[in-house]
Chains A and B, each alone.
Chain A
Amino acid sequence: EAQVTQNPRYLITVTGKKLTVTCSQNMNHEYMSWYRQDPGLGLRQIYYSMNVEVTDKGDVPEGYKVSRKEKRNFPLILESPSPNQTSLYFCASSFTGFLTDTQYFGPGTRLTVL
């Protein structure tokens, strides 16, 4: 089944404890992206990747890192999480660009930083 998977689905952590949220797609998509969703703000793009080893900042990249060492994986790293990073995070992928091709979203990761 074609899908985007994220792990973990739920995570509660404390300020400053490094964490990684994994994202994997099995559709051989070139483009991948991370979003955070906050009430009333919709989704905001954190980082995106156009191919292996090619990443770029979205609208809210501060406090986050990403890497794209393999085509299928695009982990999101929070080196020193803070409470303002408490949010619902979505990974998405598309075969070509996000404008011309359908984005497929993962199920989301709900992160709470205490």
Chain B
Amino acid sequence: AQSVTQPDIHITVSEGASLELRCNYSYGATPYLFWYVQSPGQGLQLLLKYFSGDTLVQGIKGFEAEFKRSQSSFNLRKPSVHWSDAAEYFCAVGHKAAGNKLTFGGGTRVLVKP
């Protein structure tokens, strides 16, 4: 069965500093990988996704993620964080063999200090 681990439950970062959120998955084949953001009181919004091609993926709001097959990782990065980036971030993985199921990680809550 596929699984996703987000090792960091909380991260605090200063406004203007860089941000990296970790995501590790377990599945034998190349998965479909996603990052979603959930702002307070809101539903989830897709930031970016990967399933083939260039392993560095650009998303919305200035985020990018890099797929590293050797490390089974799909870490999310942003060079300079804005106060509006304070939210909870979820990594998710899917695979065609598993049908239309997405498995989500437990989430990482990001706090932005002024």
Which of A59, A92, A102, A108 is within 8 Å of B101, CB to CB? Answer: A59
Q: Is A90 an interface residue (CB 8 A)?
A: yes
For B96-107 the 0/1 string (1 means CB < 8 A from A) is 100111111111
**A102 and B46 form a contact (CB under 8 A):** yes
With a CB–CB cut-off of 8 A, which chain B residues contact A74?
Answer: none
The 3 A-B residue pairs with the shortest CB-CB distance, nearest first, are A105-B43, A42-B104, A43-B104
Partner of A97, one of B9, B49, B100: B100
A sample of 18 cross-chain residue pairs with beta-carbon separation below 8 angstroms, ordered by A number, consists of: A40-B107, A42-B4, A42-B6, A42-B90, A42-B105, A42-B106, A45-B102, A48-B100, A56-B100, A98-B102, A99-B102, A100-B32, A102-B46, A102-B49, A103-B46, A107-B43, A108-B41, A108-B42
- A interface, how many residues as a size bin? 20 to 34
Chain B residue nearest in CB terms to A105: B43
For B32-63 the 0/1 string (1 means CB < 8 A from A) is 10000000011111100101000000000000
Q: Please determine whether A90 and B43 come into contact, CB atoms closer than 8 angstroms.
A: yes
